[in-house]
Structure 1
Amino acid sequence: MRVFKISILTAAIAVFGFAAAAFISAKPYKANNTAGKGFAVIELFTSEGCSSCPPADELVSRIQKEYKDQPVYILAYHVDYWNRLGWRDVFSNAAYSARQYEYAKYLKTPQVYTPQIVVNGKKEFVGSEERTLRNAIKGSLKQDAPAQIILTALKVDGNKATLHYQTEGNGNNSVLLLALVQKNAVSNVKAGENSGRKLAHVQIIHELNSVVLTNGRGGMESINLPKEFNPQGWEVIALIQNTNTGEIVGATKAGFAPSA
């Protein structure tokens, strides 16, 4: 496993300062977790510049297919610190590296590395460890969800979208994270450790919007849609995260209705 070491003390980008994300549907759409049901949020930190990452990408792709009808939510963050080795990952963003730094603090790991998976903000391990991942998913699905989220898409206006959210069961020190996710993409890598390879990706994070949950438990968010957006190929995954511990206490997702 290739490990790229970065001192946690030098991380200067705050995870919850991400730029506004994007989302919406042309028709009203609701998605929610059923109270009392468990969920598994799988956050993969990966890079096209890392030769050890493709097996982890392939693993989460298989998991996505196997658990497509269950509350298992995959988010793939392409970090930017591998870009210096000759290939710039087009999906990479310093903000996603910053989120990984934050997890290193929460979970008290001495360094960040790829591929890394974090499940429900509580457990981390090498992203290609299939047995560990499957056990973590099974254990998470057996636990009751502490909080629930309801998302409702309200309207589309050009390249912007508006969604309404409602949360229940979350305590203080919570944020709602709204992640715009591209379901599938393929890249032809022409340099770096994976030079000459055609890499397939799933559940690619493009934006992450953070909403502080203060006195209210509901609200509206306006989100920008990218030029390459199409309703069938994108979705939004919503997470409630405890900012003191990093634990994710609620999750859901919403799809996009086809264009009229």
Structure 2
Amino acid sequence: MKRKDIFVFATSFILITTLFIGAGSSKPVFVKNTNENGFVFLELFTSEGCSSCPRADELLGNVQKQSGDKPIYILAYHVDYWDHNGWKDMFSSAENTKRQYWYANKLKSQVYTPQVVANGKTVFVGSNKTALTNALENNVQASSTNTLKLTGKREAGKMAITYRVSGSKDAELMIATAQKNAERQIKNGENSGRTLHHVQIVRKLDAFKLSNMGVGQVNILLPNEFTAGQWEVVGFLQDKRTGEISAADRL
């Protein structure tokens, strides 16, 4: 590689890192190269009892702020195996831990926090800025033959969701109800005395079998605290054999 090419590559990499991971408000430039069906789906496994986790929350929080309406999706699952270590995470659940172990089995990976799974295919440490930047760049430029479109109608305590999919045969429709932001004062454990900021907290995850016609309607129950401005409903198609996520959409 020529010196000039090395300089251009390094400059581009730094620019991408700054726009997505830094505190600036610039728009992410690499999304200009997004394929029509390219998207990034990031699932963070985290805990308030883990001193390494706040950095991952911060990185993904910056991605959340700067992604806008781009095809970048974030879900954070708070696991419960840290709860015995001096502080119980109010967002943790055994179901979230079970999902992380399910991924570990599918992807032949270890279980740790903070851990990110990208598009159901790759695993990396959630506080690793370089790995996160690479996942953003590589997946948003990839392409999928599957598509998912969602529309929803909110009723008292629930939501009726109509879906339309194409190209999918072995996937399940997963619907996550996520709280966009939360701030918590931690009084014990490894993060004692810290104020933690969380993003895209999964409060509920539902799975549905797809209609053979590719069009259908499902119903989900909404948490009592649900408000349209502070919560998000995210749907995605996941191959239950491999774990790969092939399409996503949000309401």
| CA–CA distance in structure 2, aligned partners of residues 227 and 70 of structure 1 | 29
Which whole-Å deviations, capped at 9, do the CAs of 1:58-91 have from their partners, x for residues lacking one? 0000111222231000000000100011111011
In the TM superposition, residue 154 of structure 1 has moved relative to its aligned partner by: 2.7
Choose the corresponding residue for 2:162, options 164, 167, 192. Answer: 164
Alignment of 1:1-260 (within 5 A): 36-109=36-109, 111-156=110-155, 158-171=156-169, 173-213=170-210, 215-254=212-251
Which whole-Å deviations, capped at 9, do the CAs of 1:140-183 have from their partners, x for residues lacking one? 11111221111111341x21221111111112x21010000111
For normalisation by structure 2, the TM-score amounts to: 0.84
* Conservation of the 8 A alpha-carbon contact between 1:117 and 1:127: yes
In the TM superposition, residue 121 of structure 1 has moved relative to its aligned partner by: 0.6
Q: Which of structures 1 and 2 has the larger relative contact order (alpha carbons within 8 angstroms, sep 6+)?
A: 1
* Conservation of the 8 A alpha-carbon contact between 1:35 and 1:148: no
Which whole-Å deviations, capped at 9, do the CAs of 1:188-207 have from their partners, x for residues lacking one? 11111111111000100000
| Structure 2, unpaired ranges of 5+ | 1-33
More helix by share: 2
Q: Percent identity of the aligned residues?
A: 48
| CA–CA distance in structure 2, aligned partners of residues 213 and 69 of structure 1 | 26
Greater alpha carbon shift after TM alignment, 218-227 vs 236-245: 218-227
Partner of 2:48: helix, strand, or coil? coil
| Structure 1, unpaired ranges of 5+ | 1-33, 255-260
In the TM superposition, residue 216 of structure 1 has moved relative to its aligned partner by: 3.2
| CA–CA distance in structure 2, aligned partners of residues 149 and 200 of structure 1 | 31
Greater alpha carbon shift after TM alignment, 141-150 vs 69-78: 141-150
| CA–CA distance in structure 2, aligned partners of residues 253 and 146 of structure 1 | 18
Partner of 1:117: helix, strand, or coil? strand
For normalisation by structure 1, the TM-score amounts to: 0.81
* Conservation of the 8 A alpha-carbon contact between 2:171 and 2:238: yes
RMSD: 1.4
Max Rg structure: 2
Name the count of aligned residue pairs: 218
* Conservation of the 8 A alpha-carbon contact between 2:185 and 2:194: yes
